[in-house]
Amino acid sequence: QVQLQESGPGLVKPSQTLSLTCTVSGGSITTNYYYWSWIRQPPGKGLEWMGAIAYSGTTYYNPSLKSRTSFSRDTSKNQFTLQLSSVTPEDTAVYYCAISAGGLGHLEVWGQGTLVTVSS
């Protein structure tokens, strides 16, 4: 069974770049038709899909975040990463990675999430 684990700093200063890594076990990030997403949930608010990187390496971005977001992957480590630049306190959220199979649809398996606080 595929498992995902987010990691990264829990505190980031305003204007800096937030970087998170999702480590995958029990499956390969290059498996055909798997899509690896990032989602976040600010305190007291709903879930926001940030985008995804596909099994092929193709990236998909939420238009509202596209100018500040970058996805990459390390196939040798079976990891994929999120970078969000120019953060503000409004980027404070629990960040999740998740997998969907067959397309950017139903997110089937989620990591436990990691809280990132943006504060000076």
pLDDT at 102: 85
pLDDT in the model for residue 60: 97
Side-chain-side CA neighbours of residue 6 (13 Å): 27
Q: What is the pLDDT of residue 104?
A: 86
pLDDT at 105: 82
86: left (phi over 0), alpha (psi -120 to 50) or beta: left
- Tokens (6 digits) for 92: 């404070």
**pLDDT tens-digit profile of 44-81?**
999 999 999 999 999 999 999 999 999 999 999 999 99
State residue 103's pLDDT score: 85
Query: What is the tens place of the pLDDT at every residue in 6-53?
Result: 999 999 999 999 999 999 999 999 999 999 999 999 999 999 999 999
Give me the pLDDT at residue 78, please: 98
Residue of 67, 77, 38 whose CA lies nearest to 54: 38
Q: Which amino acid makes up residue 13?
A: K
**Residue 111: predicted pLDDT:** 98
